[in-house]
Amino acid sequence: MSMRPLARRVIAALLLVLLTACHSWQPTTVSPQGWTPEERPSSVRVTLVTGETVTIENPTVRNDSIVGATGLGVASRDVRLFQVQRFSGGKTVGLGLGIAAGLAAVAAVVILIACSGGDCVYGGGN
């Protein structure tokens, strides 16, 4: 049995949201100098000693600085907190439960609207 195209699109959109939206910035103990090419993050967030937060895309380490693809750089000595994005299981479960609850509420409303004319049959029949 094949799914309807709309159903496939809805499922694909839900999976995309579940798989990509549930990341959070988490402090790391791995310094930028300790990155290997395989584990280099696509972006990092650094909190400077001044309190300012800067996100650096496609970071690389040059001398004593973290430099992004746009040329934005931060000296390592100016960094108070270093964060990377990681998968968050708790947020993923919460989002999944929220989507399920929302779909159940929509289904309940649709059933109530459809049965408001008295055409619905309840129970096992006569």
Is residue 25 in some structural domain? yes
Q: What is the pLDDT of residue 113?
A: 80
Is residue 55 in some structural domain? yes
Is residue 110 in some structural domain? no
Of residues 102 and 41, more confidently modeled: 102
Helices (H), 26-88: none
Number of structural domains, the chain?
A: 1
Is residue 112 in some structural domain? no
Q: What is the pLDDT of residue 1?
A: 46
Is residue 75 in some structural domain? yes
Is residue 107 in some structural domain? no
Residues 6+ apart with CB under 8 A from 70: 57
What are phi and psi for residue 121, nearest 5 degrees?
Answer: -105, 125
Angle made by CA atoms 83, 57, 77, in degrees to the nearest 5:
55
Model confidence pLDDT, tens digit, residues 1-23? 455 777 778 777 777 766 666 77
33-38 CB contacts, 8 Å cutoff, 24+ apart: 33/61, 35/61
What range defines the domain where residue 11 resides?
Answer: 5-96
